[in-house]
Each structure stands twice: as C-alpha cells, then as structure tokens.
Amino acid sequence: MNIVIFGANGPTGRLLTAAALGRGHVVTAVTRHPGEFPIRDPRLTVAAGDVMDAPSIDAAIAGKDAVLSTLGVPYGRKPISLYSVGVGNIVDAMHRHGVNRLVCVSSSATDPRERFRDTGGGFFFEKILKPALTLTLGRQLYADMLRMETRLRASDLDWTVVRPSGLFATAQVTDYRVAEDFIAGRFTSRADLADCILRQLDDSLFVRKVIAVATFASQPTVLQLIRQEALQPSK
C-alpha cells in the first residue's frame, strides 16, 4: 500500500514509519525538518511539509492509498489548533485527490465523558494527576483534539480515530488490547500504538469509529511517565 504519514518525525511517527516499511508499504514521511529524519529506505520518500500550510501537504497526499496521522504537540496554556486545523487541511486535500482512508491518533482524555472513568490507577493517579493533566496542563490540547474528532465525524471519509492512554516506550510490540470507544488502561506503548494504527489499514471493523488502545504487559510507574513524557510532544 502507498501511504503518507504526518507527524512522521515524532517518537510514534518514527516507529510507525519503520513498521510500515517493514511490512512492505511504500511510505511518504512528511516533516517540517526532512534533513533530520533518521530513517532511510528505498521505499521511503521524506517530504518537507507543514500541516498548518495547506499547499505544502497537497502533493504528499496525491496518489496515496491511505493517510496516517501521528501529529503531536506538548502541553501548553496557549490555544492549540494543530489538530483541528492541521487535520482539517489533510481532510480537504484528501477530498481533492480522492483519497478516502485516514487513521488519526487522538487521546483517551479527549472525550470529556471518558476523562474521569476509573482506570484502576489508585487515588493519586485518578483524583490528583489525571485531573491536573486533563483540566489544567492539557486543557487546550484536548479541546483541540475534540475539535479534530468533530471535523472527522462530519466528513465522508473512511476514518478511524485511535485513542491511546499515557504514552511510553517498550522495546517491541506487546499483547496490547483494543476496544471501541474506551478501555480501562492507563498506559499505551508507542510500539503498540504504531502497530494498532497499521492494522487498521487491513481491517474495516473500525471504519468511522473511535477505538481505544492500551498496554498491560509492561507499564511505567507514574513518576517515570511524568519524567519521560509529560513535557514531550504527545505523539
């Protein structure tokens, strides 16, 4: 399959690019800094592009079979529009070029109805850390993710939204779990997330649906997650 990946130079995007190449896909990796992209492969094209600049992504989408998005930005108090505007530009370009399949990463904290479901993390995680991340540090980020999801639902594309929980690193893909809308898991390995995204290309079960993905075989401590992930790009 001929695919394009936006957010390719982020931590999950690099894993997704490598995994897609490993499965025989032809890949265009879009990044604002193509010279810094570390992966080289005969089936890989590294393209300069910024999803906030609609003309710069048009050529990358033309002629592709599917579009994958792992866009991410750090938490911040200023308004965020990368997800809603950037993915909106992607959707518009897909319509122009007749590309129909889109798999897009969001977050388990995006939907206000799901934010305070108990995931078994204990008092500190459920009552202190999670509210601090979702209502304060991540408020602008999750609000924009929700706008992005609303934009996708209004489109006629074959979209799938993938919602991971707290992201962390594992050496390889684990026996992760996937469920529609919600899963009671606190953490998601980036390797598992990348694998889950790729699997949607060969499966129509979750077309025009939101899915949650969580890792259980290996998990960081909350302190490790804060140190390694809290101030990093969310994807």
Domain CATH code at residue 176: 3.40.50.720
In a domain, 62, yes or no: yes
In a domain, 234, yes or no: no
In a domain, 137, yes or no: yes
Q: Which residues contact 49 (CB under 8 A, 6 or more apart)?
A: 6, 30, 31, 32, 56, 57, 60
Provide the pLDDT for residue 32: 95
In a domain, 235, yes or no: no
Q: What's the structural domain count of the chain? A: 1
Tens-digit pLDDT profile for residues 161-200: 999 988 999 999 999 999 999 898 889 999 999 999 999 9
String of DSSP letters for 146-157:
HHHHHHHHHS-S
Tens-digit pLDDT profile for residues 145-156: 999 999 999 999
Provide the pLDDT for residue 119: 60
Full-model pTM = 0.88
On whether the CB atoms of residues 141 and 75 are closer than 8 A, the answer is: yes
Provide the pLDDT for residue 180: 96
Determine the structural domain holding residue 117 and report its residue range: 2-229
Strands 177-180 and 209-214: antiparallel
On whether the CB atoms of residues 177 and 115 are closer than 8 A, the answer is: no
Alpha-carbon distance 202 to 220, whole Å?
30
In a domain, 221, yes or no: yes
Asked whether the predicted pLDDT for residue 112 surpasses 80, the reply is no
